[in-house]
Chain A
């Protein structure tokens, strides 16, 4: 057990969140703080913690925003900054989308290592966030083998 190691796992509600939940054995035994856009998911992660015999994780939300909602995106970014200042994780990991992009960029400024796992929903090109995050991610992954390149993203597997 290595509860000193603190992972922040970030995903917006919907498919990104479902994929993040499938990766939870990766941070079993570590300290984890979840960040998402739907407060209802708190009960989901508390239930998983109980099922998996893990302590209750941290849980925070930021506002939902799509790429055309500039003001909401700013609010979302501010939310991420606020959480990051208080939590100071060792690693920030995300399956997408914009909250994850912001969390990796901000987390890196605070010295955290960063992991981007591009959504399986992008089978022929990386997501917009996924393309832009490449040079800011210490581990930059696609879930489709045919999208992997020598210069990144890498392929280590998929959630399916």
Chain B
């Protein structure tokens, strides 16, 4: 199952459409499940898969664990969740000038993220189908890294030290 998720806050039609176009073209048919943000009246309706607008946390986790591949906006929440479940993920950044989010922070995040074996980046919809095909080809052979469910101990220890030594003014 391919799980498409576009995050908590805003719609992302350009990605939903890109997945739909890819689903039309691809030779092997894949089951796709999509979580999108409640669409405005003029929003794009995909032809090849069903969508839901909200998933409670437990169901979201369950969908992630069942998925063979995650497709997502370049939000840190989706990226971290895919990594901790050891799932391959294809991300496409929202862009500021297209008003998909407030600025180009997703675009700059993608540029700064360290490369990982099961992280696939489609810069925009023109690259999306190619990147999806590469991802599908690679997930059969690769072993994804499992990210620890919590941050590095050095970091949380440093924070812990600050917290326990904090006294009210």
* A41, B58: Cα distance in complex, Å: 9
Instruction: Check A132 for interface membership: any CB of B closer than 8 A.
Output: no
Instruction: Check B25 for interface membership: any CB of A closer than 8 A.
Output: no
* A117, B9: Cα distance in complex, Å: 21
Q: How many residues on the B side are at the interface (Cβ–Cβ under 8 A)? A: 41
Chain B's interface: helix, strand, loop or mixed, by majority?
Answer: helix
Taking the closest CB of chain A, its distance from the CB of B147, in whole angstroms, is: 7
Instruction: Check B117 for interface membership: any CB of A closer than 8 A.
Output: no
Taking the closest CB of chain B, its distance from the CB of A85, in whole angstroms, is: 15
Instruction: Check A67 for interface membership: any CB of B closer than 8 A.
Output: yes
Q: Is A90 a contact of B168 with CB atoms below 8 Å?
A: yes
Instruction: Check B86 for interface membership: any CB of A closer than 8 A.
Output: no
* A142, B80: Cα distance in complex, Å: 17
Pick from A18, A43, A123: contact of B80, CB under 8 Å: A18
Instruction: Check A157 for interface membership: any CB of B closer than 8 A.
Output: yes
Knowing A123-B105, A156-B155 are in contact, say whether A14-B7 is a contact too (CB < 8 A): yes
Q: Is B56 a contact of A40 with CB atoms below 8 Å?
A: yes
Interface residues of B in 106-165 (CB under 8 A from A): 106, 108-109, 111-113, 147, 149-160, 162-164
Taking the closest CB of chain A, its distance from the CB of B143, in whole angstroms, is: 19
Knowing A14-B77, A122-B105 are in contact, say whether A160-B167 is a contact too (CB < 8 A): no
In the complex, what residues of B have CB within 8 A of residue A38's CB? 57
Q: Is B159 a contact of A5 with CB atoms below 8 Å?
A: no
Taking the closest CB of chain A, its distance from the CB of B29, in whole angstroms, is: 31
Q: Is A139 a contact of B168 with CB atoms below 8 Å?
A: no
Taking the closest CB of chain B, its distance from the CB of A113, in whole angstroms, is: 4
Most buried by B among A5, A16, A156: A156
Knowing A15-B76, A22-B151, A115-B159 are in contact, say whether A121-B166 is a contact too (CB < 8 A): no
In the complex, what residues of B have CB within 8 A of residue A14's CB? 7-9, 75, 77
Q: Size range of the interface on A?
A: 35 or more
Knowing A18-B80, A156-B155 are in contact, say whether A27-B58 is a contact too (CB < 8 A): no
Knowing A22-B80, A26-B159 are in contact, say whether A111-B164 is a contact too (CB < 8 A): no
Pick from A44, A123, A157: contact of B109, CB under 8 Å: A123
Knowing A25-B150, A26-B159 are in contact, say whether A67-B166 is a contact too (CB < 8 A): no
In the complex, what residues of B have CB within 8 A of residue A101's CB? none
Q: Is A90 a contact of B167 with CB atoms below 8 Å?
A: yes
Q: Is B151 a contact of A28 with CB atoms below 8 Å?
A: no
In the complex, what residues of A have CB within 8 A of residue B45's CB? none
* A38, B75: Cα distance in complex, Å: 18
Instruction: Check A119 for interface membership: any CB of B closer than 8 A.
Output: yes
* A120, B114: Cα distance in complex, Å: 12
Instruction: Check B12 for interface membership: any CB of A closer than 8 A.
Output: no
Pick from A22, A66, A156: contact of B150, CB under 8 Å: A22
Could you name 5 residue pairs across A and B whose Cβ atoms are closer than 8 Å? A14-B77, A19-B76, A25-B156, A43-B58, A67-B102
**8 smallest beta-carbon distances between A and B, as pairs:** A157-B155, A15-B77, A14-B8, A26-B159, A123-B112, A113-B166, A18-B77, A15-B76
